[in-house]
Amino acid sequence: MVDTLPHRPGKIIGVHINYPARAAERGRTPKFPGYFLKPATSLAASGDSIERPAGTELLAFEGEIAIIIGTAARRIDPADAWAHVSGVTASNDFGVYDLRLSDKGANVRSKGGDGFTPVGPNVIPAAVVDPAALRIRTWVNGALVQEDSTKTLLFPFAQLVADLSQQLTLEPGDVILTGTPAGASVVKPGDVVEVEVDAPTASGAPTSGRLVTTVVEGTTAIPAFSAPPQVTDEQRADAWGTAEAAGLVPAAVFALTDELKRKLNSVGTATLSSQLRKRGYDNVSIDGLKSTKPGTRLLGRARTLRYIAFRNDLFDSHGGGYNAQKRAFDAVGPDEVLVMEARGERGTGTVGDILALRAQVRGAAGIVTDGGVRDVVAVAALDIPTYHAGAHPAVLGRRHVPWDTDLTITCGGAAVQPGDVIVGDDDGVLVIPPFLVEEVVNAAIEQELDETFIAEQVTAGEKVDGLYPMDASWKDRYREWRARQ
Delimit the domains of the chain by residue range.
2-240, 257-280+434-485, 282-432
Residue type, 204: G
Query: What pLDDT is attached to residue 485?
Result: 74
User: If DSSP codes are grouped into helix, strand and coil, which group holds residue 101?
Assistant: helix
Q: HSE of 44 in the Cβ direction (CA atoms, 13 Å)?
A: 24
CA angle 25, 69, 40 (to 5 degrees): 75
C-alpha 159/C-alpha 389 separation (Å) is: 42
Measured in whole angstroms, the distance separating CA 54 from the mean position of its chain's CA atoms is 33
Alpha helices in 41-95, H assignment, sequence order: 78-81
pLDDT along the chain (485 residues), means of 10: 65 94 85 94 95 94 97 96 96 94 82 94 95 96 93 94 96 96 94 96 94 95 89 87 79 84 95 93 95 96 96 92 92 95 95 96 96 96 97 91 93 95 97 94 89 86 84 81 78
Which residues are CB-contacts of 79 (< 8 A; sequence separation ≥ 6)?
158
C-alpha 362/C-alpha 130 separation (Å) is: 50
Does the 282-432 domain belong in CATH 3.50.30.40?
yes
How far is the CA of 151 from the CAs of 17, 18, 135, in angstroms?
A: 15, 11, 9
How far is the CA of 275 from the CAs of 33, 82, 279, 325, 447, in angstroms?
A: 22, 29, 7, 34, 9
Give CB contacts under 8 A, 24+ apart, made by 244-250: 245/185
C-alpha 119/C-alpha 138 separation (Å) is: 13
C-alpha 294/C-alpha 302 separation (Å) is: 20
Measured in whole angstroms, the distance separating CA 216 from the mean position of its chain's CA atoms is 29
111: nearest Cα among 35, 5, 2, 164? 35
**DSSP category for residue 297:** -
- Cβ atoms of 324 and 404 closer than 8 Å: yes
What pTM did the predictor assign?
0.56
Max CA separation in the chain (angstroms): 79
Which residues on adjacent β-strands are paired with residue 215?
50
Q: Which CATH architecture has domain 2-240?
A: Alpha-Beta Complex (3.90)
Query: What pLDDT is attached to residue 1?
Result: 46
